[in-house]
């Protein structure tokens, strides 16, 4: 039986991934500081004999060394995610959590332990043309900079795989409404109005359940995937922000989207991404944008305090 550690496992990705890992019979341990007061999202797993929870900070070397000691696979999700949260927390805390803590984790592992890292497409910065894994990294935000350096630390060891994820969307036990698709669907449902800047910008997306599945795929294909970085998403999921709004409008006809360049994307995400490398190994996403928007619509009716469902 594999013993798996998930850092940051109480978050948007982790709470979607945990049932997949537990259903395989893995012994799963979550390390999380519960900075978002999201411990209640782990309650459904407490009754599972093969589930363990450790409340602790990924920056605490003693805690990290103890919790990784007997693990076969480490899935590293703990981070300050997104440039708004990193801007709010400042460079030092963002660096300490995203970069320095990753170094603590890597230094605590032996060569036999397999490390899977949740990286980000924000590492690329501004790109002209098609973006592949060989495209030079040029991060433009605190988030991009700290995650890029963390990825370099992870990939300095051979038995590691990093996923540069497309923008996630969809429903998770620890819901986030600050992600683009989730946010715009929520505004369409609750305000019937949203202002869209840089509507021509081309973005790339992955449903949260497909994102979680990529870690399962990595475990199953460790021999082939170790020591490699992969863009994780689908070639069918590249859309402009305006196209995204049009899809939401089909589901919520009463919503009005006003296009005006009142702000800018600090990470300059405006490019088409190739996912051929991971697709050639057999990974395919299963949930399309319209299906994801429909489930977000259903979720909004359950949510009463929108401020609770955002990182920043």
Which residues lie across from 162 on neighbouring strands? Answer: 117, 229
223-227 long-range contacts, Cβ below 8 Å, gap at least 24? 224/281, 225/161, 225/281, 226/114, 226/158, 226/159, 226/160, 226/161, 227/155, 227/158, 227/159, 227/160, 227/161
Predicted confidence at residue 23, as pLDDT, reads 97
- Taking the C-alpha atoms of residue 249 and residue 53, their distance in angstroms, rounded to an integer, is 41
Pick from 235, 245, 176: nearest CA to 205: 235
Q: Which two tokens stand for residue 160?
A: 């590691």
Q: In whole angstroms, what is the distance from residue 234 CA to residue 236 CA?
A: 5
User: What is the pLDDT averaged over residues 302-307?
Assistant: 74
Per the CB < 8 A criterion, the answer to whether 30 and 53 are in contact is yes
The pLDDT, as a whole number, for residue 264 is 80
Residues 191-228: pLDDT tens digits?
Answer: 999 999 999 999 999 999 999 999 999 999 999 999 99
Burial of 36 (0-12, 13-18, 19+ CB in 10 A): middle
pTM of the model: 0.96
pLDDT digits (tens, 9 = 90+) for 85-125: 999 999 999 999 999 999 999 999 999 999 999 999 999 99
Question: In 3D, which of 69, 4, 12 has the Cα closest to residue 30?
Answer: 4
CATH of domain 3-168+205-232: 3.40.50.720
Q: pLDDT tens-digit profile of 7-22?
A: 999 999 999 999 999 9
CATH architecture of the domain formed by 169-204+236-265+287-309? Alpha-Beta Complex (3.90)
Which residues belong to CATH 3.40.50.720 in the chain?
Answer: 3-168+205-232
CATH 3.90.25.10 occupies which residues in the chain?
169-204+236-265+287-309
User: For the segment 128-175, what is each residue's pLDDT rounded down to a tens digit?
Assistant: 889 999 999 999 999 999 999 999 999 999 999 999 999 999 999 999
């Amino acid at each position: 039986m594999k013993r798996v550690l998930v850092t940051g496992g109480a978050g948007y990705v982790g709470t979607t991934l945990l049932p997949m890992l537990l259903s395989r019979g893995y012994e799963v341990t979550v390390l999380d500081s519960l900075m978002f007061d999201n411990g209640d999202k782990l309650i459904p797993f407490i009754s599972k004999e093969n589930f363990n929870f450790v409340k602790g900070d990924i920056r605490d070397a003693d805690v990290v060394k103890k919790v990784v000691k007997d693990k076969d696979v480490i899935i590293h999700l703990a981070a300050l995610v997104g440039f708004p949260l990193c801007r709010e927390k400042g460079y030092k805390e963002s660096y300490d959590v995203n970069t320095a803590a990753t170094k603590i984790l890597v230094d605590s592992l032996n060569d036999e332990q397999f490390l899977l890292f949740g990286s980000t497409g924000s590492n690329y910065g501004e790109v002209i043309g098609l973006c592949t894994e060989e495209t030079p990294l040029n991060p433009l935000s605190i988030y991009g900079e700290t995650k890029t350096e963390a990825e370099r630390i992870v990939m300095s060891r051979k038995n590691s795989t990093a996923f540069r994820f497309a923008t996630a969307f969809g429903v998770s036990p620890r819901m986030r409404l600050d992600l683009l698709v989730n946010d715009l669907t929520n505004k369409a449902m609750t305000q019937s109005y949203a202002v869209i800047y840089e509507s021509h910008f081309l973005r790339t997306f992955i449903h949260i359940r497909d994102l979680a599945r990529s870690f399962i795929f990595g475990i199953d294909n460790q021999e082939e995937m170790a020591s490699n970085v992969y863009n994780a998403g689908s070639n069918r999921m590249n859309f402009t922000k305006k196209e995204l709004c049009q899809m939401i409008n089909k589901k919520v006809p009463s919503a009005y989207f006003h296009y005006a360049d009142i702000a800018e994307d600090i990470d300059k995400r405006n490019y088409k991404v190739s996912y051929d490398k991971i697709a050639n190994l057999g990974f395919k996403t299963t949930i399309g944008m319209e299906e994801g928007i429909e489930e977000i619509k259903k979720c909004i009716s359950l949510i009463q305090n929108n401020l609770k469902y955002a990182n920043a």
